[in-house]
């Protein structure tokens, strides 16, 4: 295990002023010189859209790529519950310091202290920015912005727009982006999927994309490259992510030299609508905000299949309130998910499969009235009713944990630059400030902090100190990247008619891509889901090796002579998921401790809580790709000055 490649460039001195001092010391570029520089942004979610809009506002020429037909369709639009900020409008004692401490502790002391403090500092400015854009946050009767509680906190610091917060924040960021498009400072390229990163003499200078309609391979070049392409929960196949969400951009960058940090740190969200059948393609999130007013419970007796409204209070187990009286239903996500799963496996689960718990709004409706509850969660309740056919205001919701967010991602330093100079990684695509477990409502905060406030300053500082030699599309590095992408595509395509009709495959292929992906997802959720165990991880690595071998031999896609080929897109993404899955399993096996969402069954306390090993694993693991060989595990030590590591206690 090596530390030689990792320099996080953390600021020295007092933590409270670290970001301010860093920002004031960053090099600047004059407006006239910025107009000569090109920045390429891949992804149009909250991090990508906000970064592109801000960089263009500063004067840079910006190109933006998205595989969607509109930037508004980025998956940030699906975020529901809210965005954290230390504003204390609720008057319950919140502060920047408290948000910082909650973030570090929520991540189980596996995140950088300096990054968490910066995030808390910036949080209030994010709200100001969004309000100025017209984001319609909920308000109290007197006009103040409303706040509600989320898991892992004892204060109400989450700003929200009913259950559509991500949509409203994304519309604000995209509005700012499209303003720059109209002004001519941003070129927006839709339906482009990144297949390769281009680096020239070790510096990131562009990407190769496939046009999803024409099939053409295109080269985009710039002086700096920004990846803001989201996380990789779809490695599990069934997740709350959009079906097309994928890891190809960050995985291709990893294969070109960007280290991948903490890949096994993946979050299982406790409140999702359970899977209905084996052919389902995705899962539906039910916002954590519902735990403000909804109480989680299960029947005391295993196998109790009575109607929930007929089960008396004395025969119900409000298990989170019983086990964690201080935080109750608002414990962090990893804790809530693990406890729900344990009881379901013990036979207490409800629903057709026994893999559900009840989330009951009856007490809140009796207290505040049905109209008040619907005003807070109206679209969520309507969505649940449409999917389940049940009225959540009269019958408890049935929910179960599901893959949702990934704390792991490409390693970045304090300036958000990866181990490839000139490649900046924002939002969920980087390994983030969330450590081993993200607190609810902090993903939107991080994405907008990176895009609006951090990256525009640090990208400028990097560009100010670099030469900018011209690179053209026929540069050897560009030709090599295009050839690599073309070879991957050619290896998957076979003439139409060579495979079974209707399967979307050809040649030796006998299964559609979807079935390969589902098999991978089942392997990963069982071995590397809510809980992990060393022997199971080793077995999963062997199973995955066999699966990858069969895919290499059998996975083929029919070439129908049309450029628009969704099966090809799925196959390319699946290849990248297979590589990432191996790295996740290796990382989970190497980290011989339990921390946050990484729960190794061998490492737990007598009462079933995660048991960290700070002596051996108080570090960020960062993996180096080696073609044809096992990856190398590097580490970045973590140290704390403002808050000392301690056992998390939400009881």
pTM over 0.95: yes
pLDDT attached to residue 125: 98
- Within 394-512, residue ranges assigned H as helices are 443-448, 455-464, 476-492
pLDDT attached to residue 501: 38
| CA atoms within 13 A of residue 436's CA, in its CB half-sphere | 28
- Rounded to whole angstroms, the Cα distance separating 141 from 162 reads 15
604, β-bridge pairs? 610
- Rounded to whole angstroms, the Cα distance separating 649 from 596 reads 12
**What is the SS3 assignment for 477?**
helix
pLDDT attached to residue 277: 82
User: What dihedral do alpha carbons 246, 273, 521, 240 form, nearest 10°?
Assistant: 10
Q: Using one digit for the tens of pLDDT, what is the confidence trace for 55-67?
A: 999 999 999 999 9
Q: Using one digit for the tens of pLDDT, what is the confidence trace for 167-196?
A: 999 999 999 999 999 999 999 999 999 999
Place of tokens 């280290």: 259
Place of tokens 């998910």: 337
pLDDT attached to residue 563: 85
Are residues 122 and 454 in contact, defined by beta-carbon separation less than 8 angstroms? yes
**Domains of the chain with CATH codes:** 29-265+407-464 (3.50.50.60), 270-402 (3.90.700.10), 488-612 (1.20.58.100)
pLDDT attached to residue 509: 53
Q: Which regions of 25-67 does DSSP assign to beta strands (E)?
A: 38-42, 61-65
List the Cα angle 324/327/332 in 5-degree steps: 90
Q: How far is CA 352 from CA 276, 346, 390, 450, in A?
A: 9, 16, 14, 43
- Rounded to whole angstroms, the Cα distance separating 403 from 236 reads 7
**What is the SS3 assignment for 601?**
coil
- Write out 225-288 in H/E/C secondary structure: EEECCCCCHHHHCCCCCCCCCCCHHHHHHHHCCCCEECCCCEEEEEEEECCCCCCCCCCEECCC
Q: How far is CA 543 from CA 441, 585, 648, in A?
A: 36, 11, 35
List the Cα angle 490/491/494 in 5-degree steps: 75
Contacts of 457 (CB under 8 A, 6+ apart): 23, 26
Q: Which two tokens stand for residue 488?
A: 């991957």
261, β-bridge pairs? 409, 622
Q: What is the mean pLDDT of each run of 10 residues along the chain (651 residues)?
A: 74 96 98 97 98 98 98 97 96 97 98 98 98 97 95 97 96 98 98 98 98 97 98 98 98 98 98 90 96 97 97 98 98 97 98 96 98 93 96 98 98 98 98 96 98 98 95 98 98 79 46 96 98 98 98 93 91 98 98 98 96 98 97 98 95 94
pLDDT attached to residue 231: 98
Contacts of 476 (CB under 8 A, 6+ apart): none
Q: Torsions phi, psi of 181, nearest 5? A: -60, -45
Among 641, 598, 643, smallest CA distance to 10 is for 641
Place of tokens 């100010």: 464
Q: Which two tokens stand for residue 118?
A: 């910066």
Name the packing angle between helices 566-590 and 248-255 (round to 10°). Answer: 60
């Amino acid at each position: 295990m090596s530390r030689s490649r990792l320099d996080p460039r953390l600021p020295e001195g007092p933590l409270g002023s670290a970001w301010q001092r860093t920002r004031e010391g960053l090099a600047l570029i004059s407006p006239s010189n910025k107009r000569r520089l090109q920045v390429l942004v891949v992804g149009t979610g909250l991090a990508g859209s906000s970064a592109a809009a801000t960089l263009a506002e500063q004067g840079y020429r910006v190109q933006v790529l998205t595989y969607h037909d509109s930037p508004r369709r980025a998956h940030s639009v699906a975020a529901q519950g809210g965005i954290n900020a230390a504003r204390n409008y609720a008057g319950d004692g919140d502060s920047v310091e408290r948000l910082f401490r909650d973030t570090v502790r929520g991540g189980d002391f596996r995140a950088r202290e300096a990054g968490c403090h910066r995030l808390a500092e910036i949080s209030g400015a994010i709200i100001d920015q969004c309000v100025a854009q017209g984001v319609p946050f909920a308000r109290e009767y007197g006009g103040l912005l409303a706040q509600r509680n989320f898991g892992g906190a004892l204060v109400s610091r989450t700003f929200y727009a009913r259950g559509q917060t991500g949509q409203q924040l994304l519309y604000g960021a995209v509005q700012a982006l499209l303003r720059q498009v109209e002004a001519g400072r941003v070129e927006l390229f839709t339906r482009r999927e990144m297949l390769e990163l281009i680096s020239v003499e070790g510096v990131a200078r562009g990407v190769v994309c496939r046009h999803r309609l024409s099939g053409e391979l295109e080269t985009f070049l710039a002086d700096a490259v920004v990846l803001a392409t989201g996380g990789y929960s779809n490695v599990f196949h069934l997740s709350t992510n959009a079906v097309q969400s994928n890891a190809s951009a960050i995985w291709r960058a990893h294969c070109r030299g960007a280290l991948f940090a903490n890949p096994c740190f993946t979050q299982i969200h406790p409140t999702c609508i359970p899977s209905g059948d084996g052919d389902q393609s995705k899962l539906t999130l039910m916002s954590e905000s519902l735990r403000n007013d909804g109480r989680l419970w299960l029947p005391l007796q295993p196998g109790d299949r009575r109607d929930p409204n007929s089960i008396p209070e004395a025969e119900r187990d409000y298990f989170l309130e019983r086990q964690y009286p201080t935080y109750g239903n608002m414990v962090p996500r990893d804790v809530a998910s693990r406890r729900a799963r344990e009881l379901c496996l013990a036979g207490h689960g409800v629903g057709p499969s026994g893999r559900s718990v009840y989330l009951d709004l009856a007490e809140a409706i009796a207290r505040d009235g049905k109209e008040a509850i619907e005003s807070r969660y109206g679209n969520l309740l309507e969505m649940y009713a449409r999917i389940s056919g049940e009225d959540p205001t009269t019958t408890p919701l049935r929910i179960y944990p599901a893959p949702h967010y990934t704390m792991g991602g490409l390693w970045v330093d304090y300036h958000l630059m990866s181990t490839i100079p000139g490649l900046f990684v924002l939002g969920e695509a980087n390994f983030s400030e969330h450590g081993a477990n993200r607190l609810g409502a902090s993903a939107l905060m991080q994405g907008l902090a990176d895009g609006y406030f951090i990256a525009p300053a640090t990208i400028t500082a990097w560009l100010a100190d670099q030469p900018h030699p011209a690179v053209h599309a026929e540069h050897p590095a560009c030709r090599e990247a295009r050839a690599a992408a073309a070879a991957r595509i050619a290896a998957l395509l076979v003439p139409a008619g060579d495979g079974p009709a209707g399967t979307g495959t050809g040649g030796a292929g006998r299964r559609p891509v979807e079935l390969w992906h589902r098999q991978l997802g089942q392997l990963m959720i069982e071995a590397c889901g809510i809980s992990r165990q060393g022997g199971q991880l080793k077995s999963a690595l062997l199973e995955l090796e066999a699966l990858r071998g069969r895919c290499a031999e059998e996975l083929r896609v029919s070439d129908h002579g049309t450029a628009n080929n969704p099966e090809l897109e799925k196959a390319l993404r699946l290849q990248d998921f297979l590589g990432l899955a191996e790295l996740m399993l290796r990382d989970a096996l190497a980290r011989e401790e339990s921390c946050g969402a990484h729960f190794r069954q061998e490492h737990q306390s007598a009462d079933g809580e995660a048991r960290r090993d700070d002596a051996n694993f108080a570090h960020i693991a960062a993996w180096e790709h080696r073609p044809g060989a096992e990856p190398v595990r590097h580490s970045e030590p973590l140290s704390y000055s403002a808050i000392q590591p301690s056992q998390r206690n939400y009881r």
